[in-house]
């Protein structure tokens, strides 16, 4: 197996590089200070490996309506259970990796996704 580049996307928040390694999908996600990523939830568990920077991490449990907010500094691995909405806001320029062994899919969680979109509009 070899690490294969799939594509990259770039916007005001930073760049995401998409790779595959066999059946494993790997996203390298750059987030510039002040911007947010996520604002959604998955039907599967996901891990975000924070390699650089400091973030505010919000998660909202859709079943219990409970929210947790933490400040996290690199290096750190954030594990997000299925159906937990999550939002990562960069307090410093940040870099994290996401890995999936299945096709990526996400469902927007409007209260968090609106934060992502508002921060983009403000720039």
pLDDT of 12 above 80 = yes
Q: How many structural domains are present in the chain?
A: 1
The CA-to-CA distance between both ends of the chain, in Å, stands at 41
Which range of residues forms the domain containing residue 93?
A: 3-122
What was the pLDDT predicted at 2?
A: 95
User: pLDDT at residue 123 above 80?
Assistant: no
pLDDT band at 94 (very low <50, low <70, confident <90, very high): very high
Q: For 112, how many CA atoms within 13 A lie in the half-sphere containing its CB? A: 26
For 43, the enclosing helix (H) or strand (E) is none
This model's pTM is above 0.95 = no
pLDDT, tens only, 44-86: 999 999 999 999 999 999 999 999 999 999 999 999 999 999 9
Contact 50, 89 (CB under 8 A): no
CATH of the domain at 91: 2.60.120.10
Gap between the Cα atoms of 25 and 38, Å rounded: 17
Sign of CA dihedral 65, 13, 107, 27: negative
Q: What is the mean pLDDT of the chain?
A: 95
Nearest-angstrom CA–CA distance, 123 and 116 = 12
Beta bridge partners of 3: 21
């Amino acid at each position: 197996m070899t690490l294969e580049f799939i594509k990259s996307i770039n916007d005001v928040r930073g760049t995401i590089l998409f790779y595959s390694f066999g059946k494993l999908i790997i996203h390298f996600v750059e987030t510039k200070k002040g911007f947010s990523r996520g604002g959604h939830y998955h039907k599967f568990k996901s891990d975000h490996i924070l390699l650089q920077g400091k973030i505010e991490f919000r998660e909202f449990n859709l079943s219990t309506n409970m929210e947790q907010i933490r400040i996290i500094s690199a290096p750190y691995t954030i594990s997000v259970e299925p159906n937990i909405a999550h939002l990562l806001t960069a307090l410093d320029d940040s870099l994290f990796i996401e890995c999936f062994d299945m096709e990526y899919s996400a469902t927007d969680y409007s209260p968090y996704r609106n934060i992502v979109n508002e921060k983009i509009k403000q720039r």
